[in-house]
Chain A
């Protein structure tokens, strides 16, 4: 069975500092991995996905994610956090998307 784990309920960073939101997965076969962001009382927005190829995937709003097959991880990163990045972030694995429980990112000014 496919599964996704986000080990941190909340991540706090200062504005301007790099951020990492962690995700590990368990799938049989090749994984298709996604990151989504959700702002309060809104639907989810797609950020980026890994299908195949380069392990570093670049997405919307300056976010990127690194696929690591040996560690079965797909961590979301951004070199310099903005206060406006504060939101709920979800990692997911296909086919019918299986979502992690979400990580709340708080960026303090």
Chain B
């Protein structure tokens, strides 16, 4: 069966420190991968998506970056965190076939607090 993992579950970081959040998918190949941020428990903002290894599209310009070093691994990074980077970060995947009609499967999320 397909599963998606994210870690860490919670993270408290000082302003200006680096960030690395990891997401891995099991049970499927060539998935489309996504990073979202959810602020204040409400709407989701798409940050990055990837249709293949090394292929990253950025939806919102900011001090975050993403990488996909392996087919089922997606990493969200920052060199220097800002207070505004606090939020709930969700990784998701879909099967990558049949384009836009596939539902997405979400990881458990990472709660990031920047102090």
Contact = CB atoms under 8 A, between A and B. Distances in A.
Interface in A80-102: 88, 90, 94-97, 99-102
A51 interface: yes
Interface residues of A, number: 21
Interface in B63-115: 88, 90, 92, 99-101, 103-109, 111
A96 B106 contact: no
B43 A32 contact: no
A17 interface: no
Contacts, number: 50
A101 B43 contact: yes
B40 to A, nearest CB: 10
A44 interface: yes
Contact of A34 (B44, B88, B103, B109): B103
Given A43-B109, A96-B49, 11 more contacts: A41-B88, A46-B105, A88-B41, A90-B44, A94-B101, A95-B100, A96-B46, A96-B59, A99-B43, A101-B42, A102-B43
Q: Which 3 pairs show the lowest CB-CB distances between chains A and B?
A: A43-B106, A95-B100, A94-B100
